[in-house]
Amino acid sequence: MTRNASKPNTITVKVPFRVVNRGGRIEVQLPEGASIPRRTDNTLVKALARAFRWKRMIESGEFASISELAAKEGIAFTYMARLMRLSLLAPDMVDAIVDGRQPANVTLANLMDPFPLEWKEQRTALTQERDESRNDHP
């Protein structure tokens, strides 16, 4: 039996995208209007879980202070205090993070810096940061 060994047709597909380093991981950004499902940032989700766990431990009276809890957990007080701020995020922001729908600039590294306590101001600040980061990178 003889096989026809013809060459396959070549198709070239061009997809505009940008590779961006986000908090130690590489992310592909597609053009405006293109949608891809986001993956959950496991590092950020784990940090949220720790923050809420520590908050619950202090509120329950199990530990009298963050200093006492930090000593027990073997974690630096300053790190624990900064991480516990995550428990002050707006509930919809927490849901978005857990579902992987948070804005691209909402990373653990960015949330370790102070952010507004008022939920409406948090949303505004995070949205503005996202828009500014788009303007910085054409």
pLDDT at 21: 83
Q: And the tokens for 98?
A: 């857990």
Encode pLDDT of 44-63 as tens digits. 999 999 999 999 999 999 99
CA 68, chain centre distance (Å): 29
Encode pLDDT of 64-119 as tens digits. 999 999 999 999 999 999 999 999 999 999 999 998 888 888 899 989 999 999 99
DSSP state of 112: T
Q: State the pLDDT confidence band at 129, using cuts at 50, 70 and 90.
A: low
**Structural contact between residues 81 and 54, judged by C-beta atoms closer than 8 angstroms:** no
**Structural contact between residues 63 and 57, judged by C-beta atoms closer than 8 angstroms:** yes
Phi first, then psi: give them for residue 29, nearest 5 degrees: -105, 125
Q: How far is CA 118 from CA 3, 21, 115, 124, 129, in A?
A: 71, 29, 9, 10, 16
Phi first, then psi: give them for residue 88, nearest 5 degrees: -100, 5
What's the pTM? 0.66
Sketch the domain layout of the chain as residue ranges: 40-136
